Amino acid sequence: MERTPLMKRAVVLSLFFISFFSALQGLAVTRWATAREGYAFYVHMEFSQDPGLLRPYVTSGGLALLLNEKIRPFQVSRGITVTGRNMILDVDSPVHVYGYKMVQKGRLLNIALYTTPFLEQAAQLLPSFEEEKPAAETPRPPQKEFIIRKEAPPARDPADHREKKEKWVIVIDPGHGGHSSGAVGPTGYKEKDLVLDVSKEVRDILGKDKRISVVMTRETDVFKGLGERTALANKIKADLFVSIHANAVWGKARRQVARGVETYFLGEAQTDEDRALAIKENEDIKYESDYADVALLELILSDLTQSLYQKESHNLAALIQNKLINATKWIDRGVKQNNYYVLRLCYMPAVLVEIGFISHPEEEQLLKGKEKQRRIAREIAAGIQEYIRKHDALYAQD
């Protein structure tokens, strides 16, 4: 079949490799697919065994894996996302995957994906794909080739956020819960209990503000999946999402020195320490049997949406961080960006607050105190209220 100029321009990726360290044996790709959102294209791979043992942390344009408590980053030629048993690779043009090869040499696993271009109608960026019928001369492995056709949920229009509001809906998200304890302090104090108590205080404070309606993702010691938490916020069209967590480090020497407060919005982590923290907070994903669908369909779309809210999320994070530091006088670890799944799935400004190091002996004792918890809650609430005040003042004349 003779290729048209349009099809030739589509052939940007014909062969690429990914290498990473693995302790697993017998990994095999059971299915793959391509999907499109806007002008970005993705190759999705699902493995027969769970590569989650690698505890991978991935950002667009680079890959870092945690193995044996060490992070080894290196650059790859294409953006990659790894979640559970799924790997998503973004490519520059539509491609049709028709084969793969994986060779394990010791602990180094090489994956090669051999690709051919979509037909011309796919290259023309049609709004949806029909099932592909390859040319007769193109070999096709049986039962291993399909196109994702399920519709992703509609994103909320960011313009809805940029207006003065009569009523604000705020989602407060206490991290972990149930069988997911989160970090555990030297005396056995659990992150899930601490953040639930603080979140309830935030709820009670904000509940007295007539402008604000507060919704909690959990109000008891129960487990809620990361996707379930943000699905709630998206369903009720929340205006802000604030996830509350406690920090931790491992190793006796580090526990004695790591302390302080930091607040995150969605973005690429800048340090190995932040990458390790994201791995810890993202671990709850392993409990979610349905996250494979979320990873493919929602993460792509929500990444695009969150990029539109990045300025608002940063502003909210900065206000909360400043309030906390000014009131507690604790070490200011700053406003940072990181790749938290619970933020990626939100269709509104979203932040994650690490209220202190439960792993630090002295900080754990302070965090146990009800008065300290109330102080922390007051400042988180004050940061949210300050954001609302500034926002409404800015858009009052629109």
Domains of the chain: 5-147 (no CATH), 158-394 (3.40.630.40)
Res 142: pLDDT: 36
b/e burial code for range 259-294 (CB count within 10 A of at least 16 → b): bbbbbbbbbebeeeebbbbbbbbbbbbeebeebeeb
Res 133: pLDDT: 42
pLDDT band at 185 (very low <50, low <70, confident <90, very high): very high
CB 19 within 8 A of CB 51: no
Q: Is the pLDDT of residue 178 over 80?
A: yes
Backbone angles phi, psi at 338, to 5 degrees: -160, 165
23 SS3 class: coil
Task: Give the model confidence (pLDDT) of 134-162 as tens digits.
Answer: 444 444 433 332 222 233 344 555 556 66
Task: Give the model confidence (pLDDT) of 248-272 as tens digits.
Answer: 987 777 778 889 999 999 887 777 6
Identify the residue with better confidence: 81 or 183: 183
Q: Is the pLDDT of residue 48 over 90?
A: no
The pTM for the full model equals 0.61
pLDDT band at 304 (very low <50, low <70, confident <90, very high): low
Q: Is the pLDDT of residue 361 over 90?
A: yes
Closest by CA to 195, choosing from 219, 225, 226, 171, is: 219
